[in-house]
Structures are given as C-alpha cells and as structure tokens.
C-alpha cells in the first residue's frame, strides 16, 4: 500500500513539474512579446500568471495582459473577465467571488479614479494581495466607458485625466448572488476587515451606528445622520481612523513608479543632501484622502447597502449593480452624460457643448 501511495505521489509530482516546465516555456515566449503565449498563459489561470511573474518579473506588459490588470507586477493578482468562468472556478475551489464593477477597464491605465486607487492602495498591498489570492476568485466587469478630459495648454504641455465615476467590490457566492458590497475606496486595513468578517446585515447596521455614535462622542459633537455631515466633520472622523488608510511598502513603491521619473529617482538616491523625500508629502495627502473615503463609504454608503440587503437578501449581482449606480452613485445608465451635463445648466454654447458621434 505504501509503495502505491509513493508511486501516485511521484506521478503527480512529475506531471506538476512537466506542467510548470511547459508554462516556463510559454513565459519566455510571452516576455518576448508572443501574443499566442500570453493567451495560453492566461488560459492556464493563476498558475500561468505565477510562473510568468516568477520567471520574468520585469515583463510588465505581458504580466498585465495575463492578469487582466494594470500594475499586476505589484499585485500578482489574476482576474477573470468571463463571469461564467469565474463562477465555475468558485464552485471548483469552494471560494467566494470578489467581483469589481468599474468605469473603464482594469487592465488599462485610464480606468476610473477609484479603480486606479484600488490598484495602488489595495491590490499592491502585501496583506490584501495575499488575502485575495488565497480566499477569493477575482472578477471584474466594466459598467461603461470612463469619461476622460484632455487640457491642451498650447505650449506643448497637456493634462489628461478621468472625471467622475465610481467603483464597487461585490462579495458573491458561486451562483453570482450578492453576499456583501463594498462601495468606493477603503483603506487597506478596513478593506481586509470587511473581506474577512462575517456578514449579518442587520448586525452590521447596528455596529455602524454604534461606531459612528462613539466617534461623535470622542469628538464632542452632537449626533447627526451620516448623509448630513459636511466635509470638515468627515475629516475629523477620518483622523480617528487614520491607521486604516496607511499604505505599505508595496503601495508606496507603485506610487513612486507612477510619479517619479527614473532619472529623478537615481539623483535622489545618490544625493548627499538631507531633504524630505517629495513622495512622503504625496503619500500623506493620499492617505488622508483614503481615510476620509473610508469612513464616508462605511458609515453612509455601506450602511445603505446593508439596509437593501436586509430587505432583499442575496440578489443577483447585475440587477443589484444597476440599482447601486442609479440610486447610490447617482449615475444611472439612462443618463449618458453621467451627471456632468445637467439639463438646466446654461453654457452659452451651441447645444450646451454636447456632441454625439
């Protein structure tokens, strides 16, 4: 009996090594720009991505293509874009699905701002990345294209940004029904707590109300409804939870790669002058912004979603998402201008400056 077990294990190990060798060959080709090899690695799933990153960690374009996520070299996350395949993977693994809905595409630089911030603050975070890899099947779907604006200063300089849009993470069962929904941006520690916590929506509503009341007491403020709070009050509440928004080394490294040209990084590294790293100011500002988003999203928007899920448990995600974008994010599919062109506004331009292709 012992010899049979050893033989079975040897065969399994041999097949594993052979499979990995085949993936390494594909990884070599993919890193050299072979589109067919990229497609085959993607078809191999998370294992294909892992071998590519292990073998060619600087092959950013190939890694992003296999992962279907921009900046996947930092996150090491594999995302399904076919929902049926994600559900099949969830059934096979026994894991829930984490489904991201966003404006634009997660594998493009110019997806909506929240999804870009997810790539920095969440997916590049070592603890978050590990939790997502180990405990979830990942999936994303674009709700609609992201609106972009380009400003030409007339002297060779341009400013290109996205405007408006929101994103949401859904925790789903293997049939695609909503277990929980995390609206907008959260700090990494808060995001991890919500991912790994048990979900009882009625209990969560009570917990959110108690936590907000406790924050008001700490600040010496009269209790108010979350939807009535002004920006200054949200900032005060956020300061009580600043630790939830702290970025780790992986997130900071990705930020530096985005904002600092390589030659500037080299000059800073060899400089003898003791000055504050400019990145630190950017990090502090970003962490403060994430902290405000975290408390606002949790105390206001997430509480509202808990209410919906108490009244309608386990809804289908696509139907639920339509309601989220229409009623919570206030960008219904019926408005092609995403709230950026109110009908009552006067611009002194023909047709209010609106053009349709």
Query: Among the listed ranges 113-127, 152-166, 310-324, which one has the minimum average pLDDT value?
Result: 152-166
pTM: 0.89
Q: Are residues 149 and 294 in the same domain?
A: yes
Q: Are residues 131 and 54 in the same domain?
A: no
Q: Are residues 244 and 115 in the same domain?
A: yes
Q: Are residues 326 and 265 in the same domain?
A: yes
For 109-246, where are the E strands, in sequence order?
137-144, 148-152, 158-162, 168-172, 178-183
Query: Has residue 11 got a pLDDT over 70?
Result: no
Share of the chain above pLDDT 70, in %: 89
Q: How far is CA 30 from CA 60, 109, 279, in A?
A: 11, 20, 33
Average pLDDT rounded to a whole number, residues 22-26: 95
pLDDT of the residue at 64: 98
pLDDT of the residue at 17: 42
Instruction: Tell me whether residue 351 is in a domain.
Output: no
Query: Has residue 340 got a pLDDT over 90?
Result: no
Average pLDDT rounded to a whole number, residues 64-76: 98
Query: Has residue 258 got a pLDDT over 70?
Result: yes
Q: Are residues 26 and 89 in the same domain?
A: no
Q: Are residues 222 and 291 in the same domain?
A: yes
Q: Which of 67, 91, 115 is the last residue of a domain?
A: 67
Question: What residue numbers bound the domain in which 61 lies?
Answer: 1-67
pLDDT of the residue at 345: 82
Instruction: Tell me whether residue 253 is in a domain.
Output: yes
For 67-225, where are the E strands, in sequence order?
97-103, 137-144, 148-152, 158-162, 168-172, 178-183
Q: Are residues 158 and 291 in the same domain?
A: yes
Query: Comparing C-alpha atoms, which of 67, 69, 176 is closest to residue 120?
Result: 69
Instruction: Tell me whether residue 331 is in a domain.
Output: yes
Instruction: Tell me whether residue 216 is in a domain.
Output: yes
Q: Which of 43, 67, 91 is the last residue of a domain?
A: 67
Percent of the chain as helix, strand, coil, to the nearest 5 = 60, 10, 30
Domain count, the chain: 2
Please answer whether residues 67 and 78 qualify as being in contact, where contact means their C-beta atoms are separated by less than 8 angstroms: yes
- CA 38 – CA 343 distance, rounded (Å): 46
Highest mean pLDDT among 12-21, 150-159, 227-236: 227-236
Q: Are residues 92 and 36 in the same domain?
A: no
């Amino acid at each position: 009996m012992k010899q049979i077990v050893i033989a079975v294990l040897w065969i399994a190990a041999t097949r594993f090594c052979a499979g990995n060798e085949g993936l390494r060959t594909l990884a070599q080709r993919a890193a050299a720009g072979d589109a067919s090899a990229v497609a085959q690695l993607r078809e191999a799933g998370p294992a294909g991505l892992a071998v590519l990153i292990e073998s060619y960690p600087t092959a950013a374009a190939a890694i992003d293509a296999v992962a279907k996520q921009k900046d996947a070299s930092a996150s090491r996350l594999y995302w399904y874009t076919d929902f049926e395949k994600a559900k099949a993977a969830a059934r096979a693994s026994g894991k829930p699905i984490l489904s991201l809905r966003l404006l634009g595409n997660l594998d493009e630089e110019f997806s909506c701002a929240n999804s870009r911030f997810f790539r920095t603050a969440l997916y590049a975070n070592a603890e978050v990345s590990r939790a997502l890899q180990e405990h979830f099947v990942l999936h994303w779907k674009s709700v609609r294209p992201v609106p972009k604006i380009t400003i030409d200063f007339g002297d060779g300089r341009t400013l290109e940004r996205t405007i408006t849009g929101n994103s949401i993470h859904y925790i789903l069962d293997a049939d695609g029904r909503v277990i929980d929904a995390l609206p907008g941006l959260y700090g990494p520690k808060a995001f991890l707590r919500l991912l790994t916590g048990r979900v009882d929506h009625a209990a969560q509503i009570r917990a959110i109300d108690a936590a907000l009341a406790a924050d008001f007491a700490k600040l010496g403020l009269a209790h108010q409804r979350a939807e009535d709070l002004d920006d200054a009050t949200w900032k005060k509440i956020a300061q009580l939870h600043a630790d939830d928004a702290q970025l780790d080394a992986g997130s900071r490294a990705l930020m530096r790669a985005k904002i600092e040209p390589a030659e500037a990084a080299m000059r800073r590294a060899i400089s003898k002058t003791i000055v504050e790293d400019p990145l630190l100011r950017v990090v502090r500002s970003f962490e403060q912004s994430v902290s405000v988003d975290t408390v606002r999203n949790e105390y206001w928007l997430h509480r509202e979603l808990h209410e919906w899920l108490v009244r309608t448990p386990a809804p289908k995600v696509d139907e639920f998402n339509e309601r989220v974008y229409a009623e919570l994010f206030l960008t219904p599919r019926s408005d092609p201008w995403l709230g950026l062109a109110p009908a009552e506004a006067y611009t002194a331009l023909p047709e209010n400056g609106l053009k349709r292709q």
